[in-house]
Amino acid sequence: MSLAEEFYKNNIEKNSKESNALSSKVNVIGWSRLVVVLLCALVDYFLYKQNKIMMIVVVTIVITGFFLILMFYHNNIFEYKKRIDLLININEKGLKRLGGEFKKFKDNGSEYLDDEHSFINDLDVFGNNSIFQYINSTVTKGGREELVKLLKREKVLVSNEIKERQEAIRELGEKAVWRQKIIVEGNLKKSQDIHLDSLIKWSEGKESSSPLRLAIACTFMLATIFSIYLAIKGIVPLSFIILDLMVNFLVVKILAKSMAKEIELFDSIKSSVYGYSKILCLIEDEKFESLYLKTLISKLKSNKVSCKYEMKKFSDILDWAGNSSYNAFYLILNIVLFSDVFLMRSLEKWREKNGDKLEDWLKVMHEIDALNSIANLSFENETWTYPVILNENEIEGINIGHPLLGKKSVRNKFSLRGEKKVSLITGSNMSGKSTFLRTLGVNLVLSYIGAPVCADKFSCGIMNIYTCMRTKDNLEESISSFYAEILRIKILIEASKKGEKIFFLLDEIFKGTNSKDRHTGAIVLIKQLIQYGGVGLVSTHDLELCDLERENKSIINYNFREFYENDKIKFDYILRNGKSETQNAIHLMKLAGIEI
């Protein structure tokens, strides 16, 4: 049993026991609250029969106080149980990743699939059974977007940045308990997190409350306090206070129109900000050793301003936002003290102090959130290695496996270094050619985001990945699969001509045309890619292409083979040097019932 599996199982067992105990406690307290309410009603009724009005007031106040204590305790226990249940779910998802069941996770990033991207569709970066579905455990919208950008290579990292990220991910991988705390806080009061841009825009604003609005609020608030004083003294009747509050209600409604957009925004984001404040507190309080993480955390403290303190203050202020729409107590408070106006002023004061820092704080949180997801790979795969990043356009590995296949993955040794620039991969149908191309591609994607890879040793240069593997017809654009393949090849050639560092993966190129054209086209393409400095792999059934190895020192042959047991075809998926010497198409036709 791996350390990760043991960790997850132990946590599930421990937290399940605690959750069951808390369930019993929640039920007991819930019934106790009901008993207290019934007891209060019975006692009050008994005292009412005896005409002990003062005793009714005293007993009601005492029992109500006890009820509020029970309610507060019940809510705390319930929230704590929710945290424990979230931890159980997190560890169960960890076990599913280890068992290859991650394809059941709902969030697979399928909205990012893109036929025009240079590699994401062919390498299963997004969609079902994808890299994203495997590693993603982000809890913020920004963290999810940061992870997407890394996987799509929208953020291209240089060698030093990758090495620094490797150190950070290695360190985060060792902080499994801390990472799970962040996931819990991010999910405890989960909101849709759809107004983040609006929050940033507000934080950058400079406008402040109208002095007239504050003056009106202060005037009517003082008038209400004075009216209450006069009523207590008996100078004015009690009805005068009711009239005053009715006037205040109208004034509150009028003033609320000028603050409606802000109040609506704050009401929609307060759950998110609560989670942000908790997460940023965990981040700021944690001690890190890697340079990359230390640099990130340093952005949370500037000019003696503590991010965790200011974000908690922000969350506490926002906790009141929008309460007047559903909270009777706050509605009364608003009518008497014009709390919305002063709430808005408090938020503006917070913005004056911290508005210019908020976006940077959130960026730190989002990056840590994305790195924590990648750190799942480090924690759960002890035998994986961190790749060596080279300056040359090369790739080499020992015992390289496909990261998404888990224990089913067959490991292979591969090298494309020095004068060798193109590898021709031959082999019979279903022997493993396409899977091996994806194996290298997926491990390169992981290498470039600073993650460990599925290999004992792995080294590579930083290259732009181009693939042509799953071309298909597009009826809306009147494009055949062959023409779609041509268009992708065109993009590859244009990129190589521009001087890009290219790594290409071409699976059965030009398969949509006749054998003569396919052979000729493949030879010309391979030579042209070599000419412009491209590096990569080409899988093919055209064994004559393998003769290029003798003509050009830049080309090397590899192959996969099949074997037979009891008239059944079998594959070992082991990569061998040289060209393929076996074929299985006729045998497969016979198995299908075609008489030959």
3-state secondary structure string across 313-368: HHHHHHCCCCHHHCCHHHHHHHHHHCHHHHHHHHHHHHHHHHHHHHHHHHHHHHHH
- The residue-averaged pLDDT of 345-349 equals 84
Residue 153, domain member (yes or no): no
User: Mind listing the pLDDT tens digit for each residue in 360-418?
Assistant: 999 999 999 999 999 999 999 999 999 999 999 999 999 999 999 988 899 999 999 99
pLDDT tens digit string along 441-451?
Answer: 999 999 999 99
What is the rounded distance in angstroms from the CA atom of residue 452 to the CA atom of residue 448? 10
433 & 486 share domain: yes
- Whether 315 and 432 map to the same domain: the answer is no
Do residue 541 and residue 573 come from a single domain? yes
The per-residue pLDDT for 384 is: 96
Question: In the predicted model, is pLDDT for residue 475 greater than 50?
Answer: no
- pLDDT digits over 182-217, tens only? 999 988 876 555 667 788 888 887 776 667 776 777
> Is the pLDDT reported for residue 112 higher than 50?
yes
Answer yes or no: do 328 and 240 share one domain.
Answer: yes
pLDDT band at 588 (very low <50, low <70, confident <90, very high): low
Q: How confident is the model at residue 8 (pLDDT cuts 50, 70, 90)?
A: very high
Determine the average pLDDT of the residues in 295-322.
Answer: 84
CA gap 202, 87 in Å, rounded:
34
**Cα–Cα distance between 58 and 434 in angstroms, integer?**
80
More confident residue, 303 or 552: 552
For residue 438, being part of any structural domain is answered with: yes
Look at residue 492 and tell me if it is in a domain. Answer: yes
Do 427 and 567 lie in a common domain? yes
- Residue 470 pLDDT more than 80? no
Give the pLDDT mean for 483-509: 87
Q: Show which of 77, 101, 125 is a domain's final residue.
A: 101
Q: In this structure, is residue 376 part of a structural domain?
A: no
pLDDT at site 473: 44
Q: What's the mean per-residue pLDDT of the chain? A: 84
Q: Please tell me the distance from the alpha carbon of residue 5 to that of residue 381, in angstroms, as a whole number.
A: 10
Do 429 and 578 share a structural domain? yes
pLDDT digits (tens, 9 = 90+) for 242-287: 777 777 777 777 766 666 677 777 777 888 888 899 999 999 999 9
Is the per-residue pLDDT at 458 higher than 80? yes
* pLDDT given for residue 328 in this prediction: 58
Q: Going by DSSP bridges, is the β-strand pair 457-461/388-390 parallel, antiparallel, or unpaired? A: parallel
Cα separation, 350 vs 561, whole angstroms: 68
Please report whether residue 421 resides in a domain: yes
Range of the domain at 324: 195-365
Q: Please, which pLDDT band fits residue 570 given cuts at 50, 70 and 90?
A: confident
Residues 320, 222: one domain? Answer: yes
Asked if residue 252 is part of any domain, the answer here is yes
Q: Which residue has the tokens 């394809």?
A: 103
CA distances from 435 to 59, 139, 508, 575 (A): 76, 32, 13, 11
- The pLDDT score that the predictor gives to residue 267 is 76
Q: Whole-angstrom Cα distance, residue 320 to residue 262? A: 13
Give yes or no for residue 419 having a pLDDT over 80: yes
Pair 318, 400 in one domain = no
| The predicted structure's pLDDT at residue 266 | 79
Position 393 scores a pLDDT of 92
Q: What is the mean pLDDT of residues 478-495?
A: 78
CATH number of residue 536's parent domain? 3.40.50.300
Same domain, 581 and 439: yes
Same domain for 411 and 357: no
Angstrom distance (rounded) from CA 218 to CA 225: 11
Q: Compute φ and ψ for 513, nearest 5 degrees.
A: -130, 180
Spatial separation of the C-alpha atoms in residues 40 and 59, rounded to whole Å: 8
Residue 325 has pLDDT above 60, yes or no: no
Mean pLDDT of 572-576: 89
**Mean pLDDT to the nearest integer, 570-578:** 87
pLDDT band at 477 (very low <50, low <70, confident <90, very high): very low
- The band of 513, judged by pLDDT with boundaries at 50, 70 and 90, is low
CA distance 77 to 18: 12
Find the mean pLDDT for residues 463-470.
90
pTM of the model: 0.85
Closest CA to 146 of 362, 331, 314: 362
Sorting pLDDT into bands at 50, 70 and 90, what band is 478?
A: very low
Q: How many domains does the chain have?
A: 3
Q: Which of 42, 70, 101 lies at the terminal end of a domain, its last residue?
A: 101
**Do 227 and 305 belong to one domain?**
yes
Q: What integer pLDDT is reported at residue 355 of this predicted model?
A: 86
| Three-state secondary structure call for residue 272 | helix
- The answer, yes or no, to whether residue 326 has pLDDT greater than 60, is no
Confidence of residue 472 (pLDDT cuts 50, 70, 90): low
Whether residue 400 sits in one domain with residue 350? no
Report the pLDDT averaged over residues 493-504.
91
In a domain, 119, yes or no: no
Average pLDDT of span 142-169? 92
Q: In a 10 Å sphere around its CB, with 0-12 CB exposed, 13-18 middle and 19+ buried, how is residue 392 labelled?
A: middle
List alpha helices for 136-235, DSSP H: 141-152, 159-173, 176-188, 196-204, 211-233
- Decide if pLDDT at 327 tops 60: no
Does pLDDT of 354 surpass 70?
A: yes
Task: Supply the pLDDT for residue 258.
Answer: 64
* pLDDT of 324 above 60: no
At residue 589 the predicted structure's pLDDT band, cuts being 50, 70 and 90, is: low
The last residue of one of the domains, among 55, 82, 101, is 101
